[in-house]
Amino acid sequence: MTQNFSSNKIANDPSAYALRSAWLGGAIWLIALIWSHPSLFTPQWATAMLLLAPLVLVPLALRLVEPDGTWVVLRAVWRMAILLQAPAAILLVPAFLLSQSWIAAALALPWLITSMLIALTGVLRVWLQGFRSLEETAISAGLVYIAVGGGWLVLDRLGVQPLNFEPIIVLLTAIHFHYAGFLLPIFTGLAGRILKGGVAKLAAIGVIVGVPLVAAGITATQLGFNTSLETIAAWLTSLAGLLAAILHIRIAIKTFVVTPSGVNNNEVPVPKGTTTSVKALFALCSLALAFSMILSALYGARFYFSLAWLDLPWMRALHGSANALGFGLAGVLGWSLMRPQNTKRHS
């Protein structure tokens, strides 16, 4: 284990290190889930969905945006983020086992540092690439937004409630920026690389703008302003998410062909033997994302329509689980299988 997770090993193959980190994180997450066996409608379940991201989904997603070797500074920061990701994510487990305190916050602080390094890779990508490609900008935005999630995670462990938000809202904000903030823009950008066109561009714009707009809308409501901003933000993000779901289902129903050149008649190339798995994973990712976005749109409309059945515990259980286990996990596994041919390119 010491050999596998050494700095020399990451220097030689950081992507493989991230993969091993995800396997280790997955084992830790399953053990913690079985040990705690949280109910679907409790905050503990929401915590489990949050921990899935740092332990498993983030290292796999970082592999998808591996920078080109010629971008020395960007690649160095990316490597550093991968090196810190595993220990920082593992420390989050005891951070959430402890009650909210400065000790719990201190254990979560390395994850904030890791998320800031990830965000720096997003900033460097924009500095190097500019805003010429909406798909690449969406990927960069996802990398940047995770730092907000890391910050709110520390606030949750410290027990701080900015603007008098309820404690559960602080936790859910951290979750929001790890899934809708981090994974959704990255997946949307990756899909846009393959499926060019208006839908891909609209989806990219929607997720770039929608993620911070949702946070702004919730804050405006908390401060006593008109609830329209929160509703509009929820609908905009939901529409962008639905467009991203359409992109993924389009990839799922394509005919996958591998040729010596890697591409045949503009079809999507995948590694041999993974065709069925990739289709199934993208289909699940798409359906879970669509379901999650419909719930999000309905919840955003609660100020204008009677939706007593769709309260916060139900949203945590349904929306949160669909995002984590359906969209997030299935999506990152599907893109990981696609990675050799499609995703490792001048990221």
pLDDT in tens, 17-46: 999 999 999 999 999 999 999 999 999 999
- Chain-wide mean pLDDT for the chain? 88
The full 3-state SS of the chain, as one line of letters, equals CCCCCCHHHHHHCHHHHHHHHHHHHHHHHHHHHHHHCCCCCCHHHHHHHHHHHHHHHHHHHHHHCCCCCCCHHHHHHHHHHHHHHHHHHHHHHHHHHCCCCHHHHHHHHHHHHHHHHHHHHHHHHHHHHCCCCHHHHHHHHHHHHHHHHHHHHHHHHHCCCHHHCCHHHHHHHHHHHHHHHHHHHHHHHHHHHHCCCHHHHHHHHHHHHHHHHHHHHHHHHHCCCCCHHHHHHHHHHHHHHHHHHHHHHHHHCCCCCCCCCCCCCCCCCCCCCCHHHHHHHHHHHHHHHHHHHHHHHHHHCCCCCCCCCCCHHHHHHHHHHHHHHHHHHHHHHHHHHHHHHHCCCCC
The pLDDT value recorded for residue 71 is: 82
The pLDDT value recorded for residue 337 is: 86
Give pLDDT tens digits for 84-98. Answer: 999 999 999 999 999
Least confident of 120-129, 228-237, 306-315: 306-315
The pLDDT value recorded for residue 253 is: 85
pLDDT at 342 over 90: no
Rounded to an integer, the average pLDDT of 148-172 is: 95
Give pLDDT tens digits for 173-218. Answer: 999 999 999 999 999 999 999 888 899 999 999 999 999 999 999 9
For the chain, domain boundaries:
7-342
Reported as a pLDDT band with limits 50, 70 and 90, residue 275 is: confident
Least confident of 189-193, 286-290, 308-312, 318-322: 308-312
